[in-house]
Amino acid sequence: GNGNQYTPLTSLDVVGHEFGHGLTRTTANLIYQDEPGGLNESFSDILGTCVEFWAEPDSMADYNIGEDFDQLGTGFRDMSDPNAEGHPDTYEGSFWEFGDFDNGGVHINSGVQNYWFYLLSEGGTGTNDNSYQYAVEAVGIDTSSKIAYRNLRYYLTRFSQFVDARQGALISAEDLYGPCSF
């Protein structure tokens, strides 16, 4: 912690997040810069969230990262509403980091795939920053986590971009659940 807003950074989701970096390194080995780095951070957020839902399904599990040690209770990132923390929920949409800050926005731009995971798990409707309407039917966190993990393990490589993650997720869903399953 930094002695101000945060106590020691040892919450279940953050520890799961850090183990997620190890898993990413032994699978896709996404570089920690720009879009691959944003995917790297997002997969760690996804894995940390899955650990929290597995360990505390009825009480403390949520889609916030680090809220358990944040004195404000909000955490670093909100997968259900990335914009609430100044992160994008749409590729190159509002809050997208185009520059060099944060290794090209690895923590910031992770919001795009984080929001995808949240929507796939919980469902939702709306209009994105590009004025496209969406309606996503929930498939649950277990199904979503299987798709995300398969994508990370089999379809992404060191320099994968968000478009690659999208394509890999579609193929992963088909691998697991059959053609036209999603």
Positions annotated as catalytic residues are: 18, 107
Show the tokens assigned to 75.
Answer: 């955490």
User: CA 61, CA 124: separation in Å to the nearest integer?
Assistant: 19
Q: Which stretches of 69-123 are assigned E, i.e. beta strand?
A: 77-78
Contact present, 66 and 7 (Cβ < 8 Å): no
User: CA 88, CA 66: separation in Å to the nearest integer?
Assistant: 18
What's the first-to-final CA gap in the chain, in angstroms?
41
User: CA 35, CA 174: separation in Å to the nearest integer?
Assistant: 24
User: CA 114, CA 119: separation in Å to the nearest integer?
Assistant: 9
Annotate 149-172 with DSSP letters as a single string: HHIIIII--TT--HHHHHHHHHHH
